[in-house]
Amino acid sequence: MIFKLKKEADIAEDDRLKEKNAKKLPRFAIAFYIIAAVSAILFAFFLISESFADFFNRYISSVLRAVLAYITNWIPFSLAEMFIILIPAILVFLVIFAVKRYSESWRDVLVYCGTMLSFLALFFGIFTFGFSAAYRGTKLEEKLGLERRDVSSEELYLTASYLADKVNEEAQGVAFTEGGFSIMPYSYDEMNDKLIAAYDEACDEYDFLQRLDSRVKPVMLSELMSYTHITGVYSFFTGEANINVAFPDYTIPYTAAHELAHQRGIAREDEANFMAFLVCIESDDAYIRYSAYLNLYEYVASALHSADAELYREVYASLGKNIKYEMKAYSEFYDKYRESVAADVSETVNNTFLVIQGTEGTKSYGMVVDIAVAYYKTLQ
């Protein structure tokens, strides 16, 4: 009888020790889920109130974006890109770690899965607190006092003609290769300094624009990135503005300004495109202004070509010889990447993300044309 009671006591002690040593969801994971829950509530308020989204974006999200940009600004490479490169190694490590430490019971497996999912919850929280409100606030054209509406072929023609004249004017201060691309006459770091100076000028004019000392980071795997048709990306979870430097020089200042606009809380793609244009034309550098006018011209001219091919040809004929060579060289350069599975996947993912944020998807990039036409009217 005594032996039996002792055996039962041993069993009870073993159960107590197992319960004590059982894997539990870490406190940091619980905290991440709490952050995600708060974020979901905030997201609902962004949907309900445009003014609340504006307030949050300007006074709260801006702080998180600035902190992330400051922390990662000192790292000489793109932290986001390095994370993506290391994903296969990270996954292998996580599987090995899970087998060794979390495979004794189904409870351990569930705890491990819950811990891993908590990092996704953290990413959602960072996105919500740092960037999501910018998609739901007042639109850029309202902040600029522009009237945005459907545009006619004549309006497209007039806007494209204005931009073509500006491109021709700025091209006089630009160097070109023989029958090919223009040449950016400085390094990426020097370009960045010029863009930050232009942003400082723009901040004096547009009070909704966040003043921030930051820099764009060239992507190491730019050649591979080109097959996705991505020229730049803002990483909201590291606060980094990344650019694809495999693309021709004339696209890079404008693309960099676009990503820096995202970094400063301009989320919608058409608005980031137009903000990049406004900032670049504030620059005292001819090449940056040339980049802005030519890139915006290409958007407007593409829309004009779809609306009235004859008017398009008339505007195109007014471009200088070097500019035509540049555009032709770009088309030939792009042929290498035009058709790819990576581009299709990237398009689908990006479009889905943008639609979820309440935009028109990847079509929103080209919607900068509507803002450009409205802006041109204010110059008449």
- The pLDDT tens digits for 75-131 are 999 999 999 999 999 999 988 988 888 877 888 889 899 999 999 999 999 999 999
Question: pLDDT tens, 158-217?
Answer: 999 999 999 999 999 999 998 789 999 999 999 999 999 999 999 999 999 999 999 999
Q: Residue 12 above 60 pLDDT?
A: no
- pLDDT score for 68: 96
Q: Residue 320 above 60 pLDDT?
A: yes
Quote the tokens at residue 35: 């952050």
Under a CB-based contact definition with an 8 Å cutoff, are residues 266 and 248 in contact? Answer: no
When the pLDDT of each residue in the chain is averaged and rounded to a whole number, the result is: 90
Indicate the pTM of the whole model: 0.91
- pLDDT score for 99: 85
Higher pLDDT, 137 or 359: 137
Residue 1 pLDDT level (bands cut at 50, 70, 90): low
Residue 52 CA, chain-centre distance (Å), reads 23
Q: Residue 20 above 50 pLDDT?
A: no
Higher pLDDT, 171 or 14: 171
For the ranges 55-64, 93-102, 157-166, 319-328, the lowest mean pLDDT is seen at 93-102
Mean pLDDT over 275-301 rounds to 97
- pLDDT score for 353: 79
* C-alpha span between 210 and 57 (Å, rounded): 10
Residue 355 pLDDT level (bands cut at 50, 70, 90): confident
- pLDDT score for 342: 82
Q: For residue 18, is it left (φ>0), alpha (ψ between -120 and 50) or beta?
A: alpha
For residue 280, give the nearest of 188, 189, 202 by alpha carbon. 202
Per-domain residue ranges for the chain?
2-136, 142-379
Which range, 5-9, 21-25, 328-332, 364-368, has the best average confidence (pLDDT)?
328-332
Q: Residue 290 above 90 pLDDT?
A: yes
Residue 290 CA, chain-centre distance (Å), reads 23
Mean pLDDT over 130-143 rounds to 95
Q: Residue 256 above 50 pLDDT?
A: yes
Q: Residue 293 above 70 pLDDT?
A: yes
- pLDDT score for 356: 78
